[in-house]
Amino acid sequence: MIKFLIRIVLVTSVVSIFLYYFQPQSIFFENDLKRIVEKNKVTFVTRLGPTTYYEIKNKKFGYHYSIMKEFADFIDVELSIKVVNNIADARKMISSREADIISGWNVVDLGQDIKTSYPYNRVDYVIVAKSNISRRSNIEDKLLNNDIHAIESDVITNVDTNREKKLKYSYKIWQDKNIDDLLRMLNDNEIIFLLMSSDEFKILSKYYRDIKVVQRHSVNEAEYWVLPYDVGSDLQNKISEFFNVMIDNNRLAIIYRNFFGQQQHTFVGSKIFIKDLVEIFPTYEFFFKEASRLFNFDWKLIASIGYQESRWKKDAVSYTGVKGIMMLTKDTAREVGVEDRKDPKESIFGGVKYLRTIYNRIDYDLDDKEKIWFAIAAYNIGLGHVEDAIKLAASDGVEIRKWSDIEPYILMLSQSEYYRQTKYGYARGWETVKYVKNIKQYYDIIVFLDSQDKDVDEKDQEIPKTLWVT
């Protein structure tokens, strides 16, 4: 009996050593692609953020998300997204096959447990500060004497160039916050320096105009998908094939340009707006006025929304896939009976009808003049997110009466401390606040010019008919 037990122990030891050194688990995963196809689902793990993944009106968006979706379509399966807050959890998920691929993290320390795909994008990492800091002549002293804050990324601990210079700075790495959280801290003067990617800066600097680059941390850092080290060769080869196709048809460049090349939600300035008001608006003025009359809105406000959405371009197309003057989604167009989203009349009437639907669904005790701004915000971000913001305010004991009451809570929807408490989760609240602000500015200009026209008309009426030139 003792000899039998000894043999069992010896056999177990040998098997354990074999498993440890030769890792035959790859045998079980060599058919990763077959498993994905049979389950009809590829699962990516990522994090929430303005460049990675987010939702608007129950639709998923994001630069990195768009490439994930292209791959799912390429292999003809459904796309599943799982969100985690740190790299360690993401690595565990692909190792156990709870997820197939990591996207949206700059994992430089590859180690023994992961591989990477083709580097489909490259970014610089920049240190930013508010403009009052960036203009100072002693900026180097400031960098030496203050922490540089960053979300979790391997690029900080793996700088190949200028290593001595970079390591003398002190970095504070946050594993439980996203880039929106840190930007809010920077904006509120809780921190002085923030590290972000150049792509994040391209988007966020449009809405936070006071942030400036003070120094470049690293350049040309690769962004790629991360795969388990024992990934099956079939899946690896299919990913390589996918990126070859994306490069050949220029699809990667098109997706990048759609997300980072547009100036959406940027105020164009009074001169350009007035020029467009004179040259473009008269073509669609009748439709705006008729639709506003039909659905009981101020035409000047509806025209302002249309300009913010598309600058009154009938063939406008956003990176999110919305189209036309009022930028309708396919689902919204179907809901309001629009067949051709690029038809100016259909788009304007459909957009105003949709706005009226949203307005009527807002069941809060608000003055009509304030309620419209809530509806306009929902037109942009979705009513669910607006309701989330109202509930956040209620949890703070704040009674929402006007738009300015809810603005801070709209902004909170991008901050992890708050969006984790909500039903609809992360939203680019800063984008919606800017959206509403721009519309108010366009509206004020139209109201002013319209009042001037009325004054002129009234004065014309006062001129004696004998002096009129015919």
pLDDT at 145: 92
CA 61 – CA 53 distance, rounded (Å): 6
Q: What are phi and psi of 106, to 5 degrees?
A: -90, 85
Structure tokens at 461: 């009426």
Q: Using H for helix, E for strand and C for coil, what is the string for 159-193?
A: CCCCHHHHHCCCEEEECCCCHHHHHHHHHCCCCCE
Q: What is the dihedral of CA 450, 452, 453, 456, to 10 degrees?
A: 160
CA 377 – CA 435 distance, rounded (Å): 8
38-85: pLDDT as tens digits: 999 999 999 999 999 998 877 899 999 999 999 999 999 999 999 998
CB 262 within 8 A of CB 319: yes
H/E segment holding residue 142: helix 139-145
Structural domains in the chain, sorted by start: 31-117+227-260 (3.40.190.10), 121-223 (3.40.190.10), 270-453 (1.10.530.10)
This prediction has a pTM of 0.78
Residue 295: partners with Cβ closer than 8 Å, 6 or more residues away: 352, 353, 355, 356
Provide the H-helix boundaries in 280-401: 281-294, 299-310, 330-336, 344-361, 368-381, 383-395
Residues with a catalytic annotation lie at: 309
For residue 364, name the pLDDT band (cuts at 50, 70, 90).
confident
394-426: pLDDT as tens digits: 999 999 999 999 999 999 999 999 999 999 999
